[in-house]
Amino acid sequence: MRLFEMLLAVATLIALLATLPVKNPRPRLLLGLWTGSVLLAVLHAIVEKSRWQLGLVYVILGLLAIPTFLTWRKRHEETPSAKRRRWPRIVAVVLGTLGIVVSGLLAALLPVFSSPSPTGPYPVGVTSYEWVDLERTDEHPKTPSGHRRLVVKIWYPAAPSDAPQELYLDKSHAEGIARDFKLPGFVLSHLALVRTNARRDVALASGNETFPVVLFSHGYAMAPEVYAFAVEQLASHGYVVVSIAHTYDGAYVVFRDGTHASFEPAGDMKRMDTMLKAIEPRLLVWMADARFVLDQVTKLNTSEERFKGRLDLEHVGYAGHSFGGATAYAVHAVDPRFKAALDMDGALFGSVEQARPTQPFMLMNADYPSLTDEDVARVGMTRKEFDAFFGQLESHWAASTEPTKGARYRVQIAGTTHGGFSDLPSGVPAFFSGSLPTLEAHRLINQYSLAFFDQYLKGQSSPVLVGPAADSAVKLTSHPAAPNP
């Protein structure tokens, strides 16, 4: 909970308890407590903005006006008839206390979190583009032009600016994502109160330096915005990160004309095995998205004022989470423009199994071996099915390390979850957090991601990639590139 939220909840609880029947009521004290709580509510609304999770606190504070002013008007001692009315007030105080506790739990379960500050030397800028691939016909009849339409969001090293920090999600976007997942829109509306570290449409960092480019793909049914912790970190260290919203496969994509594309599941999403089979055909679509976007980024380097001549297109990488990670591995196997790929907890399946990229590759994994039977059942699999699936993942990783010209790294982080490679543990901690604290998990993910791209896109050797890992939560294995003849 935020500062004024906590103060308001505590002050309201104290004012509520002060209404309990006593022999010598203190109307001035009660009025003072209630007035102080109201002032805190006003400050909270102005500074932090109100949100629905605190709704019960607001209601209870409003209802407290009744006993406060009744006590103020009735200053004489209790009469026998008044004593008989103690129980309703006690019950009201108990129910009010429960209401405040429920509000506190909701605020903790769906927090207005703060994004950790990136550690790089550059401030972070962000901008968006909408591109239409006239070479491809979109299979969805809802697409007005009939061609594949993509929204990309670009994070980049920026010049210092006093522009306001970018919203994590605006209210309509957050509510749209909630509705895509069959939730009431208001459930995620609090994310509109979160600020990122980036500033919208500010100037690129001054100078003549060119910056390596990293394309980024979200997980299936996810949104580019929920990876702020990772993309902002890369941008602050001198990378231009181009994040693709894969239309209809991501959550609630908003276009410039005000229209949107909702997430449309490719098949049965209730079980992991059926889900993977259903989405496998989408891999070729995502690969085509990536190659088209890189073509458009190449044009930015020659025509767009902000980026003209500042993008190092000789050093382009690809990163992705889950299905986006599988896409990163697959597309860099067929497109030599991608010099390195990072897969954040994505299964290697479908055409990816046959891919043998010669470029460097890093696979990051969550802590799957420690999952309980209940955890496995939650994703719709038996323990036997899950073990078979995990065995496949291991065999595909082993196949990817067969003699190659490119280095292979695997980073396994104990105490993390699949969702832990996004901002979800910060925004919905009860469902996505692992045993490793979220900030620590994100620090490790960023540390190895940055070290990998620094070494293979910037040519800066990193001791982090030389095992064994210094952190006890990390298991690092590597298969160095074959020496040049």
* Mean pLDDT of the region 38-61: 96
Tell me the pLDDT tens digit for each residue of 331-342.
Answer: 988 899 999 999
| Mean local confidence (pLDDT), 376-397 | 76
Maximum separation of any 2 CA atoms in the chain, in Å? 101
Does the pTM exceed 0.85?
A: yes
Q: Is the model's pLDDT at 351 over the cut of 70?
A: no
Average pLDDT over residues 440-464: 96
Lowest mean pLDDT, pick from 121-125, 180-184, 392-396: 392-396
Higher per-residue confidence, 372 vs 141: 372
Region 341-355: mean pLDDT is 75
pLDDT tens, position by position, 406-444: 799 999 999 998 999 999 999 988 888 889 999 999 999
Residue 70 has pLDDT above 50, yes or no: yes
Residues 6 or more apart from 227 whose CB is under 8 A from it?
Answer: 216, 218, 243, 321, 421, 422, 423
Decide if pLDDT at 203 tops 60: yes
pLDDT of residue 484: 45
pLDDT surpassing 80 at residue 371: no
Q: What is the pLDDT of residue 300?
A: 96
The pLDDT value recorded for residue 350 is 55
pLDDT at 233: 98
The closest of 475, 441, 320, 341 to 400, measured between CA atoms, is 341
Q: Is the pLDDT confidence value at 466 over 60?
A: yes
What number is the average pLDDT over the span 251-255? 93
What is the rounded average pLDDT of the residues 310-330?
A: 96
pLDDT interval class at 363 (50, 70, 90):
very high
Could you tell me the residue ranges of all domains in the chain? 3-109, 124-479
Say whether pLDDT at 383 is over 90. no
> In the chain, what percentage of residues exceed pLDDT 70?
89
Mean pLDDT of the chain: 88
User: Are the beta carbons of 229 and 115 closer than 8 angstroms?
Assistant: yes
Q: What is the pLDDT of residue 485?
A: 35
Q: 348 vs 41, which has greater pLDDT?
A: 41
Q: What percent of the chain has pLDDT over 90?
A: 65
Over residues 201-212, the mean pLDDT reads 96
Q: Between 432 and 237, whose confidence is greater?
A: 237
**Fold type of domain 124-479:** Rossmann fold (3.40.50)
Q: Are 17 and 56 in contact, with CB atoms under 8 Å apart?
A: no
Which residue has 């982080």 as its token pair? 413
